[in-house]
Structure 1
Amino acid sequence: MAEQLEHPYGTINIELVGAWLHMKPEDDGCFWALNLMKYVEVANYDDGREAVSGKAADDTYAPIGPLAAVGAEVAYLGDVKDQPLGTPEWDRVAIVRYPTRASFFAMQERKDFKEAHVHKKAGMDFTIILSCLPNTHDEAASTDGDLVLLIDKGTEDVFASVSGATQVALFDVEGVIIGDERRYDRARFVRVTDDATMASLVSAAENAEDAQILVLRSFIDKLVDTVVTA
């Protein structure tokens, strides 16, 4: 029997994953896996190797080879430099565009991915991974100001009425792949250039259950490009 990966950093959403496993190939297609990551202070390796930080362990994990092998691409990578709203206090955000759900499963079975995964297991305290589908995007969006990730749920889009923020991309959340009991409906990336707009975003969402506002420091930003070229 093939070795099964352990995921101590979150609970797999059996309902969503089960639906994917039964998805017909003609119904499958691109999705964007949005990863919210919180690290342990010191990585916990089962083999007792020299201690490094959880973040350093995740840097070692970086499964670029396995992703490329299944046709996936890193669309975004950035650290969280401020978090006006939401729990827990996240450390990093990453987004990967997968060509299909089937490719996501195929990667989990690769030997090179399993070998790299030991670092993620050692360094990650908790993660939420959302399966997202593009709704709208703006290729000409300004790059001025901070890139801010807004996540919310429910029929009311709590951030839609806030003026002053430049929308970069809006994604509909298909479902939680791994995480906890929380569920979400939208993930929006905007640019914010002033404190008043940020305060308005926080005010709009302060009574919204489980909403998240994350201010990001970007290292890789091909988010809109990966939507355009999908």
Structure 2
Amino acid sequence: MATVPNLEQFAHFAAATDDSPVVMLNLIKFSDRTEYAAYGAAVLTLVAHQGGRLLWHGEPRQTLIGEADWDYVALVEYPDRKAFLNMVTTPEYQRIHQHREAGIAHTVLLACDALAVA
């Protein structure tokens, strides 16, 4: 399974003209929790520098529907897609990205837009 977006996925995300906030839903299966912890501690500073914030994170306890085996779930909000793109293209992010890659066996990353509550 992939741990980084392919070029088509990245280009599609980057081409979006929407400037509303975006929440990134991270589903992660660890290969090395220590490596990912090093990434996680450093990336939150970079997220904050772009105006983003960690909304929620936790460990899944039980799958009720479907088949899933995730170790960690996080919701990270960015002011817009550009803020996320700015972050992942900084030299600082490139320096810590190795810890992410070493720490993740596989992942799903979904860009989510908010819907109005009825």
Structure 1 distance, partners of 2:14, 2:64, is 37
Structure 2 distance, partners of 1:20, 1:70, is 17
Q: How does 1:59-70 map to 2 (within 5 A)?
A: 59-62=37-40, 63-70=43-50
Structure 1 gaps, min length 5: 1-7, 41-53, 138-230
Q: Are 2:3 and 1:9 equivalent residues in the alignment?
A: yes
Distance 1:105 1:11, change over 3 A: closer
Q: 1:32 aligns with which of 5, 9, 23?
A: 23
Deviations 1:162-211 (A, max 9, x none): xxxxxxxxxxxxxxxxxxxxxxxxxxxxxxxxxxxxxxxxxxxxxxxxxx
Structure number having the greater helix percentage: 2
Deviation, 1:23, is: 3.4
Deviation, 1:83, is: 2.0
Deviation, 1:109, is: 1.3
Deviation, 1:111, is: 1.8
Q: Are 2:57 and 1:77 equivalent residues in the alignment?
A: yes
Q: CA RMSD in A?
A: 2.3
Runs of 4+ with deviation above 4 angstroms: none
Q: What is the identity, as a one-letter code, of the residue corresponding to 1:20?
A: F
What TM-score results when the alignment is normalised by the length of structure 2? 0.83
What TM-score results when the alignment is normalised by the length of structure 1? 0.45
Structure 2 gaps, min length 5: none
Distance 1:131 1:10, change over 3 A: same
Distance 1:128 1:32, change over 3 A: same
Deviation, 1:113, is: 1.4
Distance 1:18 1:57, change over 3 A: same
Q: Are 2:33 and 1:55 equivalent residues in the alignment?
A: yes
Distance 1:87 1:67, change over 3 A: same
User: Residue in 1 aligned with 2:75?
Assistant: 95
> Larger Cα Rg: Structure 1 or Structure 2?
1
Identity of aligned residues (%): 25
Q: 1:126 aligns with which of 106, 115, 118?
A: 106
What number of residue pairs does the alignment pair up? 116
Distance 1:34 1:116, change over 3 A: same
Q: What is the identity, as a one-letter code, of the residue corresponding to 1:112?
A: E
Deviation, 1:10, is: 4.8
SS in 1 for 2:35: helix
Q: Which of the pair has the greater relative contact order for Cα pairs under 8 Å at 6+ separation? A: 2
